[in-house]
Structure 1
């Protein structure tokens, strides 16, 4: 890896928009996205299928260009960095010659990048594909091919690795091995970005989660940040409705039967007030799971009645 200026973002995306189609069929795959990623970060790009993750990754990797806005990788145009060895992009599909053996694939890539052949065995071991070296790519499973592509990405010793749905097709064991390899590279100081729709992967392996939906970034932060912005649900036994209502006075809280929905910044104070009430017991504060937050963030907006062809102003 090369030394990286810590004051310059590894990736800088500013006001980027990318559309496909034309006229009434125009689709905004990426809609006014602004994003900075710094050296050494491990970032998950999380979103449902069709959220715009792959389109954004393709532009960062220099495979396509924005319709509007700008992208810089190490302060340069992505296309100027792609061949430098500083960035490695691992696509979800394609990218390998199916008729070559895995070993031949790695040797050819190493030769093309001016890397000594001895490094091939090293990256094969790190990617967990030593046992696949004599096998043709077409005879490897989808998960095995993903690991081959990961090995390819390591050959030039890049500073930045970008992976699009990297564990697609892998079984549970292969996923564990893959993420163990990724963790070792992260510990070495690489910047790693991976797109995924697996919540567990994002939660376990990323320091920062960028949530996309409908082409836009709708949330950006750590898991704690994401969960910390959502309301809690409080339940308690032995407290009358009147005492519950009094305990909520002045707080951002709503009582609904036996449950209290309270803003995250007010839940501790509410708990203290409730527990001071004689007879109060079995207090439970329910924090939403990452899955609940994700589904809430990415839910399709409820269409306005007129959008469904209903005229709310009567018939003319």
Structure 2
């Protein structure tokens, strides 16, 4: 299957600052990929290059098999910035109808696009009355024009309430199921942990980690936390039998290396009815991101 996006040893500098340093990645059709990194890591620079807005010094970039910024690429890629801005005097329907006309599409599709992003009831209201979250949804409706093969989203859930964020990711899931590739930048690590297939971590212009969450956990080799809930009267006995364990009333907690996890679990289950519950807590994406960022000197 031909990748939707292919980047090989991409390098970009601004004066004496190297914004991207030999970065390589691929995004397959239907993949949901999160791009993470501190401010200044190179995320925005990479997105601008993918969209064909700025040139680059060396390396190769192919967007749907075409050079970035070319007519062939532009017809197949869509972009949603963090702060989408629209004419406040236009209604949502008028704004999307205008964009449809610019793309050579029928303006009659406007209501269907707004309905897809949850704005059907507000379609005839002026955008000046919309909340920031509603304006983000107008931006997403605009990005969906022409059924793009690649969506580039910069902090797409900025300004959305929790329910709207859930609905937004459900919409992205549906687009991915239809074959669209999604590359999104976000600082909301808890969100992307559960709703993306692959994670890319940039630091100082370099790709310091890439892969599925399970792959990054293995690469980081961070400890696993075990939370044991003891039945009344047995917490002290269980804690004493587990090296490094800490007792807090009925709870016993300890951290262990990945390769020690099964051994500790066998020891804990050996207590039988003295244990009420066991919770295994793997390193979170926030833990993993912090690990790779610190390793790279951040």
C-alpha displacement at 1:271, in angstroms? 5.5
Equivalence for 1:14: 8
- Give the RMSD, CA atoms, in angstroms: 3.1
* Whole-angstrom CA distance in 2 between matches of 1:170 and 1:260: 37
* Whole-angstrom CA distance in 2 between matches of 1:159 and 1:233: 38
Equivalence for 2:229: none
- Contact 2:85/2:135, CA 8 A, preserved across alignment: no
Change (3 A) 1:55 1:139: farther
Equivalence for 1:102: 92
C-alpha displacement at 1:67, in angstroms? 2.4
Larger Rg: 1
* Whole-angstrom CA distance in 2 between matches of 1:10 and 1:159: 7
C-alpha displacement at 1:233, in angstroms? 5.0
Equivalence for 1:179: 169
Equivalence for 2:136: 146
| Greater mean alpha carbon deviation, residues 137-146 or residues 283-292 | 283-292
Change (3 A) 1:276 1:37: closer
SS at match of 2:7: strand
**1:44 pairs with 2:34:** yes
Q: What are structure 1's unaligned runs of at least 5 residues?
A: 1-5, 245-254, 304-316
Equivalence for 1:291: 286
* Whole-angstrom CA distance in 2 between matches of 1:118 and 1:55: 35
- Contact 2:33/2:184, CA 8 A, preserved across alignment: yes
TM-score relative to the length of structure 1 = 0.76
Equivalence for 2:239: 237
- Contact 2:155/2:186, CA 8 A, preserved across alignment: yes
* Whole-angstrom CA distance in 1 between matches of 2:127 and 2:53: 23
Can you list the C-alpha shifts for 1:230-271, whole angstroms capped at 9, x where unaligned? Answer: 23257773449xxx7xxxxxxxxxx89999875424543566
Equivalence for 1:250: none
From 105, 122, 125, give the equivalent of 1:132.
122
SS at match of 1:89: strand
- Contact 1:53/1:195, CA 8 A, preserved across alignment: yes
- Contact 1:99/1:136, CA 8 A, preserved across alignment: yes
Can you list the C-alpha shifts for 1:84-125, whole angstroms capped at 9, x where unaligned? Answer: 531111122355344433222111111121212222111110
- Contact 1:120/1:155, CA 8 A, preserved across alignment: no
From 17, 21, 45, give the equivalent of 1:55.
45
**1:207 pairs with 2:197:** yes
Count of residues in correspondence between the two structures = 278
Equivalence for 1:226: 216
From 9, 30, 33, give the equivalent of 2:23.
33
SS at match of 2:38: coil
**1:68 pairs with 2:58:** yes
- What does residue range 158-173 of structure 1 map to in structure 2 within 5 Å? 158-173=148-163
Q: What are structure 2's unaligned runs of at least 5 residues?
A: 227-237, 248-252
* Whole-angstrom CA distance in 2 between matches of 1:277 and 1:109: 65
